Amino acid sequence: MEKLLTTVEVAELLGTTPGSLRNARARGLAPRAIRLKGLGLRWRQSDVEAWVAEQAAAAEAR
């Protein structure tokens, strides 16, 4: 099973705060999360890594 990351873990990986991550998610500017009943939001590590790669590619294309 793939590791599921918490909000704090994703924020640390992205170099931001949990609050900023929540704000970015609300605006559609963060990796896709899944909501698990009783556990809240979690991120698949592969989704976060793919999102970072997409962001880097888009930045390089500018």
- 30: domain range? 4-61
- pLDDT number for residue 26: 96
Instruction: Say whether pLDDT at 61 is over 90.
Output: no
Q: Mind spelling out the 3-state secondary structure of the chain?
A: CCCEECHHHHHHHHCCCHHHHHHHHHCCCCCCCEEECCCEEEEEHHHHHHHHHHHHHHHHHC
pTM: 0.89
- 13-54 pLDDT, tens per residue? 999 999 999 999 999 999 999 999 999 999 999 999 999 999
Q: Which residue has the higher pLDDT, 61 or 14?
A: 14
β-pairing verdict for 4-5 and 34-36: unpaired
- pLDDT number for residue 1: 82
Q: Specify whether the CB–CB gap between 5 and 45 falls below 8 A.
A: yes
Residue 38 belongs to domain with CATH number: 1.10.1660.10
Domain count, the chain: 1
